[in-house]
Amino acid sequence: MMRIWFYSLISFGVLYASPISAPLLSVEGNHASIEAAEAREGMSGFIVRHFDGVHSSIIANAHVEQTNPSDHRTLLRLDPFDGLHQKALPGGSWSAHPSDEAVLAYDYTRALLIAPNEESYDSVAKSISGIEWIHPDLYATYLSYEGHPTPLVKDFHAFCTANSIGLLYIQDAQTLFTLDCKSFALLEAVPSLQKGETSQTPFFTHIPKIRAAWWGEGSSRLTRYEPYYLEQIALNNSKNQKLYELYQSKFSEQSALLRHFKIKE
């Protein structure tokens, strides 16, 4: 019988805190700055414009690119808001201005967990409190509609955006990774240990078979669980020093995974 021992749970208490709200201090092109001590690189959110005391609207997506612990200054990258895909609704072409409000980690109480089997899934889900878990069967159904038995990063983004899911957990044999589900940026990695594990691909789900498209990216079937997700995490966090050091400790210097990083030694 497989068991999981967690040496520690997520120490990132901010992940379960209330959303972080702060006014924009400055705006330059597609970047803005705020002051937020709790902000972490990789967090996603949006920019809100308050037209008056009653009316407001989301005008842009926001993503934390850089933080400064000394003065809590946080640099945000701004992108077009993609949370609503409804052509029948009126839109706008607003640009962010100082005094607009940044809201980060708005939906971090809702999460999707990718695990190799049911026992692993149950153990992780029961070990973390304060989270509304979105069952992987729903995600598998979405992938079947898209024809992607191999989930792509853009599939995570689209599914989590449509369902207001903020966090993505990916479990491998030694580590529980916590990522922002929309940006795929790594927020935390916590050691864990699994024994006697058997892996289900592309992840644990009760859906017997995910439909595959005839061709295109994501249409091939995933054959190995752990290598694929470790590669996707590395590719999308290639400048993360802590992740690079973690992979160095797990793999040899000749590992292809280490080649995905852009770290200056």
Per-residue pLDDT of 37-56, as tens digits, reads 999 999 999 999 998 888 99
Q: Residue 80 is which amino acid?
A: P
* Other beta carbons within 10 Å of 93: 6
pLDDT of residue 8: 40
Question: Is pLDDT at 77 greater than 70 in this prediction?
Answer: yes
Question: Position of tokens 């803005």?
Answer: 32
Above 60 in pLDDT, residue 16? no
Which residues make Cβ contacts (< 8 Å) with residue 16, sequence separation at least 6?
10, 108, 109, 130, 131
Q: How confident is the model at residue 185 (pLDDT cuts 50, 70, 90)?
A: very high
Q: Of 84-98, 141-155, 179-193, which gets the smallest average pLDDT?
A: 84-98
Q: What is the mean pLDDT of residues 163-192?
A: 93
Give the pLDDT confidence score for residue 40 in this predicted structure. 92
Q: For residue 152, give every residue at least 6 positions away whose Cβ sits within 8 Å of its Cβ, in sequence order, or none.
A: 217, 218
Decide: 109 and 163 in contact? Cβ < 8 Å: no
Q: Which residue has the higher pLDDT, 48 or 89?
A: 48
Task: Judge whether residue 98 has pLDDT over 50.
Answer: yes
Average confidence (pLDDT) over 178-192: 93
pLDDT of residue 90: 63
* Structural contact between residues 160 and 184, judged by C-beta atoms closer than 8 angstroms: no
> Which residue shows structure tokens 């026992």?
119
pTM metric for this prediction? 0.89
Q: How confident is the model at residue 225 (pLDDT cuts 50, 70, 90)?
A: very high
Segment 52-68 shows an average pLDDT of: 92
pLDDT for residue 1 = 38
Confidence of residue 14 (pLDDT cuts 50, 70, 90): very low
CATH architecture of 20-104: Beta Barrel (2.40)
Question: Where are the domains positioned within the chain?
Answer: 4-13+108-260, 20-104
Confidence check: pLDDT of 120 > 80: yes
- pLDDT of 94 reads 80
Q: What is the mean pLDDT of residues 8-16?
A: 45
Orientation of helix 241-250 relative to helix 225-235, angle to 10°: 150
Q: What is the DSSP string of the chain?
A: ---EEES-----GGGGSPPEEEE--EEETTEEEEE-TT--TT-EEEEEEE-SSS-EEEEEEEEEEEEETTTTEEEEEEE---S---TTS--------TT-EEEESTTTTEEEEE-SSHHHHHHHHHHS-S-EEEPHHHHHHHHHHHT-SS--HHHHHHHHHHTT--EEEEE-SSEEEEEETTT--EEEEEEEEE-S----SSSS-S-S-----SSSTT-SPP--HHHHHHHHHHHTTTT-HHHHHHHHHHS-TT-GGGGG-----
Type of residue at 250: K
Q: What is the pLDDT of residue 4?
A: 39
pLDDT of residue 7: 37
Are 142 and 112 a contacting pair, CB within 8 Å? no
